[in-house]
Structure 1
Amino acid sequence: MARLASCVCGALRATCVGEPRKVSLCHCLACQRRTGSTYGVAAFFDRQNVQVDGQRTSYSRQSDGGLPVTFHFCPLCGSTVYWEPQRLPDLIAVGLGSFADPDFPAPTQAVYDEHRHPWVNIVI
């Protein structure tokens, strides 16, 4: 099975083959700022199962663990489509919303619960 993730304008795409290794919901402040929402959700795929097409701009920041995370987004519409956490070099994280698929597998873990907004009632 192959799934297509893309930015809003469709210029940056990631084709992901197979099932994600994990789907993670993150309440950290950096994800809140990156998404403009109260959390971010990432589907982690084996690197060899992800094909990226289209122009992209990148931004790197230090993770809480001290290793960089590089985010890739569309230079036209600004949507973040995928990112590469150096602490997981064999995986690529793809923003779950980039699939625009309500049947996508739900998150199996949540992290940074201490930053969860109290009105967000997500049970994992």
Structure 2
Amino acid sequence: MPAHEGSCLCGQTKITVEKKGTQQALCHCLDCQQTSGSAYVTVAVVSEAGLKVEGPTKVFESPSESGRIIYRTFCSNCGSQLTHKSSFMGKGIAVLTGNLPDFAHIPITTEMYVKDRWSVLPAIEGATQFHAMPPGVPPFDE
């Protein structure tokens, strides 16, 4: 039985994560702000092998600040962003947790790109703060 299930806004693309998540992160980078249309995105890094995305999708490739290509997957019907991946993440993939309802109860343990955080947003108490990208991939269960 999957640990987390969700979908895009229109419901045509389903997301299944097989391992139970215990933490998530906020990313305040300018790219995440633009792709979400908001101040940040919430993500959990999961094993790519333990993730299933079923339904209509489209991938958009863009260079990150480091020059690595980021592959952002969206529902091709409604445009909801589902995942993003780069070579930095190894066997992991970032799943946008706003599409997975039970992540509303999982703690945010990390904030990335706080240099781009909106000045009206306070730091999350107890979360590790990174000026830009963390030095290593956040841990995840394989």
One-letter identity of the residue aligned with 1:100: P
SS in 1 for 2:25: strand
User: Per-residue deviation at 1:101?
Assistant: 2.9
The aligned counterpart of 2:62 is 61
Conserved? CA contact 1:13–1:81, under 8 Å: no
Comparing 68-77 with 85-94, which one deviates more in the overlay?
85-94
SS in 2 for 1:119: coil
Cα distance in structure 2, aligned partners of 1:91 and 1:120: 28
The aligned counterpart of 1:75 is 76
Cα distance in structure 2, aligned partners of 1:51 and 1:122: 32
Higher RCO, Cα 8 Å, sep 6+: 1
1:42-80: CA deviation from partner (whole Å, max 9, x where unpaired): 111011111111120110111112111101111111111
Cα distance in structure 1, aligned partners of 2:18 and 2:103: 18
Comparing 18-27 with 63-72, which one deviates more in the overlay?
18-27
Conserved? CA contact 1:13–1:54, under 8 Å: yes
One-letter identity of the residue aligned with 1:25: L
SS in 2 for 1:20: coil
| Distance change in 2, residues 1:103/1:78 (3 Å) | closer
Cα distance in structure 1, aligned partners of 2:80 and 2:10: 9
SS in 1 for 2:98: helix
The runs of 5 or more residues in structure 2 that have no matched partner are: 128-142
One-letter identity of the residue aligned with 1:4: E
The aligned counterpart of 2:132 is none
The aligned counterpart of 1:3 is 4
Query: What percent identity do the matched residue pairs reach?
Result: 27
The runs of 5 or more residues in structure 1 that have no matched partner are: none
Cα distance in structure 1, aligned partners of 2:95 and 2:105: 12
